[in-house]
Amino acid sequence: MSTVNTVTEQLTAAGQAIEHDSFAIIDREVGSHNYTAEQWPIVRRMIHANADFDFNCLTDFHPDAVSAGLKAILGGGARVVADVEMICVGLSQPRLKHFGMGTHQFISDADVIEQAKAENTTRAVQAMRKAHRLGLIGGAIVGIGNAPTALIELVRLIREEGARPALVVGMPVGFVSAAESKDLMAEVNDVPWIVIRGRKGGSTLVVATIHALLGLAEAEQKK
């Protein structure tokens, strides 16, 4: 049986070779690390996406994060709820389709903008509230890579309104509340999460994390 994933890897032999060689370089340069065998492919792909080895230390996992993400993906029909359109555009549609997954984001919806102005909040806050009202957060993989206020609101929804995503990929980047929002998420015990500590993050890292989970899910299917 081939060890190469046919859906969640590069589609040509040349592309696969470049990607695999890149991963080998990362493995060699990182050396030892403290991540489990299930966590490391996720961190490695994050490093690959940004050529930034800091993610070797900054990435933190809830104990159930990887298993929860795989369960959601392999269960079929899982949703990705994102804070910004960039995440939805960055995710590979063929890879999502293989698992029957779809994406949702509401950051530019007219009602979200109107409510944010009316309540003097951010669009990201209102987008998370809309996703919750529509029943989309429950059982979803929620990816937040841009807006710390979206992650802070998601924590509130979990604590106060019973929102129960399958997994939170909380990686907002920035200087205002970014580090604090991720620390807040990491205090949540009853919802699994993957976060990047500190100011670093971004939608690219959320996409890399979800793609890594999709790759692990396909490998699980092949067993």
Q: Active-site positions?
A: 48
CB 172 within 8 A of CB 148: yes
Q: What's the angle, vertex CA 146, arms to CA 140 and CA 151, rounded to 5?
A: 50
SS (H, E, C) 114-173: HHHHHHCCCHHHHHHHHHHHCCCCCCCEEEECCCHHHHHHHHHHHHHHCCCCCEEEECCC
187, burial (CB in 10 Å: exposed 0-12, middle 13-18, buried 19+): exposed
Partners of residue 195 on adjacent β-strands = 60, 170
Long-range contacts, 128-131 (Cβ 8 Å, 24+)? 128/83, 128/153, 128/154, 128/157, 129/153, 129/157, 130/106, 131/81, 131/104, 131/106
Return the structure tokens found at 209: 């994390």
Helices (H) and strands (E) in the chain, counts: 11, 6
